[in-house]
Structure 1
Amino acid sequence: MKHLILGAVCALAMAFGSTTVQAADDYTDHVVNSTSRGLAMDGFDPVAYFVEGKPAKGNQAFRADHKGRTWLFASTKNRNTFLAAPDSYAPQNNGWCAWAVAHGYAAEVDFIDGWFIAEDKLYVTWSADVKERFLKDKDALLAQSQANWDNVHAGLQDGSVKFVAHSQRPNLGFIHPQQLPES
């Protein structure tokens, strides 16, 4: 039995990458997924996902503070829209990977290709592949993510929950803060 459990743990580690627990000190108090510079969502405009249907990099000229982080927006209109109803536009799980939260841990996200909108809420995931897996069982995983969030959030703050960073999987090519390709 012991070998069966060890084998399952190893299989999961290979499937989802490193299971190393990383101290998440670089992410301050984990209120929202932010860079060490205090920018929420790597500086992406949360409203753009809804109104443009795609990610847009925010601009320092259009900024606002919310939940102790600086949020950037692509326009004054998007900033004002966010400020009128921040909980309607900020990502669920405070910007941590919805798949990870559904499975009881926290992980960084891909703001460019790992996002989706469900039930008029923005969700982000580790990568485009993880997003596709999430969407195959969306209803169950959304419910599990919502059920786990309070425990994951508390665990991020006290260090008791596993945290997986893209830097632990350099072969994926993620560098934070993420940048949109030049168009």
Structure 2
Amino acid sequence: MTTIALKTFTAWKTFVFAFLCLFTFQAYASAEPNINKEGIALSGYDPVSYFMDAPMKGYPALKYTFEGSTYQFENEENRQAFIQQPTKYAPAYGGWCAWAMLDGEKVKIDPLSYKIIDGKNYVFYNGFWGDTKEKWNEKANKDSEALLVKNADIQWSKL
């Protein structure tokens, strides 16, 4: 691919991504959680398992609803831990992409792209348009990660 073609493709990709982000933001312009058609958060992954070795799929029979999101759990012990401390285990920003939240946008996530920061689970988009967790980490190296969280928190509070 020539340099001009690569720059054109990159510019086109950026334009389409911005358009989709704008559409997503307008479609979800309230503080509703990121859930599927069945009301399930994190694509069915157990929110407590993120704080252990790795995210694990939960079972539909083991569920609990908190702030409009139904979470599924790998085992009863995790379900009970969540019931006792839901704000500890529920993902930041209603389960929307932390990187996109810096701009006040709601973007769907890849439930396996996440980062625990100061005891809170931040989830990220990872797909055709790139891995936003990598972008977050790059910006965190330049700026303070606490500042990124603070800015995303401000945007979330506006929604």
TM-score, normalized by the shorter chain, greater than 0.5: yes
Partner of 1:163: none
Identity among equivalent positions (%) equals: 30
Question: 1:41 corresponds to which letter in structure 2?
Answer: L
Partner of 1:82: 82
Q: Could you report, residue by residue, the CA deviation over 1:35-86 in whole angstroms, capped at 9, with x for unpaired residues?
A: 011111111111000022x111110121111112321000000000000000
Partner of 2:132: 130
Tell me if structure 2 keeps the 8 A contact 1:115–1:131. Answer: yes
Tell me if structure 2 keeps the 8 A contact 1:115–1:122. Answer: yes
1:107 aligned counterpart, secondary structure: coil
Tell me if structure 2 keeps the 8 A contact 1:13–1:19. Answer: no
Q: In the TM superposition, what is the alpha-carbon distance from 1:18 to its structure 2 partner?
A: 4.9
Normalised by the length of structure 1, the TM-score is: 0.68
Partner of 2:115: 116
CA distance in 2 between counterparts of 1:150 and 1:131 reads 21
Partner of 1:57: 57
Report the aligned-residue RMSD: 2.5
CA distance in 1 between counterparts of 2:70 and 2:50 reads 18
2:154 counterpart of 1:147: yes
Distance 1:117 1:65, change over 3 A: same
Distance 1:46 1:39, change over 3 A: same
Q: Provide structure 1 residue ranges, at least 5 long, that are not aligned to the other structure.
A: 1-9, 154-183
Q: Provide structure 2 residue ranges, at least 5 long, that are not aligned to the other structure.
A: 1-9
Aligned residue runs from structure 1 range 1-183, under 5 A: 11=11, 14=14, 17-20=17-20, 21-22=23-24, 24=27, 30-52=31-53, 54-112=54-112, 114-127=113-126, 129-138=131-140, 139=145, 140-151=147-158, 153=159
Tell me if structure 1 keeps the 8 A contact 2:31–2:156. Answer: no
CA distance in 1 between counterparts of 2:15 and 2:52 reads 35
2:61 aligned counterpart, secondary structure: strand
CA distance in 1 between counterparts of 2:50 and 2:16 reads 26
Normalised by the length of structure 2, the TM-score is: 0.77
Q: Whose relative contact order is higher, 1 or 2, with alpha carbons under 8 Å and at least 6 apart? A: 1
Distance 1:120 1:12, change over 3 A: farther
CA distance in 2 between counterparts of 1:97 and 1:16 reads 18
